[in-house]
Amino acid sequence: MNDCRNYHWRIAGFYFFYYAFVGMFAPYWSLYLKSLQFSAVEIGVLMSMQPLMRLVAPNIWGWLADYSGKRREVVIAAASLSALFYLGVFFTTSFWGVLAVLLLMNFFWSASMPLVEATTLSYLGKNTAHYGRIRSWGSVGFIVTVVGLGYAFDYVAIAWLLWAGLVCEIGILLFARQIPRTEVLAHHTDSQPIRQIVLQPRVLALFGACFLMSVAHGPYYTFYSIYLVEHGYAKSAVGGLWALGVICEIGVFFLMPRLVQRFGFVRILLFSLGAAVVRFVLIGWAVDVLVLILLAQVLHAATFGAYHASSVGMVHEFFQGRHQSKGQALFGSITYGAGGMLGGFASGPIWQHWGATALYSCSAAAALLGLFLMASAGRRHWGMPQS
């Protein structure tokens, strides 16, 4: 029992530092890039390097992990190389230099999470509904950096952000060396090519809806902090708003076992997509109404917390045995990778030519399309009622 508890905290530690890095990067990296005098289009391109590499890298590393059977060693190698290439941010401030550093660093940084997700779900076995309780430590790490840095940047230069990222990279590497080895159990689908699983209509619907959800969030992760600062919010308030969303997300992670038992993954995912429509309408049209912006951040509990836990759980149900790592990697590539990249790339020109209201209205439209896709598939493939 003690050994299991030790492994729990080892995995939780990895999540803590991995998402602490996200808490450093997502809200504040665009502000750092703006301090370097980059244009909105250049910022959109640079911020899209992370989802671009989440499109490419996880499939390569997931295949390597499943082929070699050495999932843990692949995670350690990826974390080591990510930390090494991150050091490049201290030596360049040119557009092409920063682009090269983000490209290389994210190629390795994005590789490890799908493999750790597969490790966590294998470790939990039949208790996958408890995934959120381990994953919640990632949310705690996010809050620590987003709140701490938000207050710090009211007093110190944004360039100190680079050192916070280095601390996170070192933490990721240390805990990557602590994650447990997990046995990949044989499954009757092992002999099937993975495309046979992917091409099932319900799997395609899930991937399509989650792709659109990531497209919707692209402008949020790229320009939300800049948007708030331009409307008079202090950087500490920006950090507080990001943190509020993640605090609500933690609450949902702890409630997920009960919610899954009562509603099931599909209905939770549908609710999350609907909540995203409301959230992005509020962000786009009510940025100056604090109460509504607070409500929009509370909805992060659904649009990321419940959404992420339910979608990862469904992927784990679809991809078993030798396909676990590849399945999680493919899901991450198509959704957070391709979807996030499209949302990020498109956000720069839309922001520059039509403004923030149009940009976040596009986010709401993408989430609405995902809702229609998932609802239609739910009626056909999960036996949900017509009304």
DSSP SS3 for 295:
helix
Which of the two residues, 224 and 132, has the higher pLDDT score? 224
pLDDT of 329 reads 80
Lowest mean pLDDT among 31-45, 87-101, 181-195: 181-195
Structural contact between residues 263 and 287, judged by C-beta atoms closer than 8 angstroms? no
User: pTM of the predicted model, to two decimals?
Assistant: 0.78
- What's the rounded Cα separation, in Å, for the pair 138 and 123? 17
Residue range 68-83: mean pLDDT, rounded: 88
For residue 79 the two structure tokens come to 């974390």
How would CATH label the architecture of 2-180+194-381?
A: Up-down Bundle (1.20)
Confidence (pLDDT) at 342: 92
Q: How far apart are CA 336 and CA 156, in angstroms?
A: 32
pLDDT tens digits along 303-317 = 999 999 899 889 988
Q: What confidence tier does 381 reach under pLDDT thresholds 50, 70, 90?
A: low
Domain residues of the chain, as ranges? 2-180+194-381
Query: Is 60 exceeded by the pLDDT of residue 386?
Result: no
Task: Give the rounded percent of residues in the chain with a pLDDT score beyond 70.
Answer: 91
Q: What confidence score (pLDDT) does residue 382 get?
A: 56
More confident: 46 or 384: 46
Q: Where are the alpha helices (DSSP H) in the chain?
A: 2-35, 40-47, 49-68, 71-86, 95-124, 131-152, 161-176, 194-198, 201-230, 235-285, 290-298, 300, 307-318, 324-332, 340-354, 356-381
Please give the Cα distance from 131 to 13 (Å, whole number): 14
- Residue 106: is its pLDDT beyond 80? yes
- Specify the pLDDT at position 32: 92
pLDDT at 168: 96
Token representation of residue 243: 């943190």
Taking CA atoms, 84 is separated from 81, 106, 108, 169, 252, in Å, by 5, 11, 10, 9, 35
Q: How far apart are CA 236 and CA 151, in angstroms?
A: 4
| Mean pLDDT in residue range 271-284 | 98
* pLDDT over 60 (residue 189): no
Tell which wins on pLDDT, 382 or 171.
171
Which pLDDT score, from 0 to 100, does residue 136 have? Answer: 87
pLDDT in tens, 305-350: 999 989 988 998 888 767 777 788 889 889 988 898 899 889 989 9
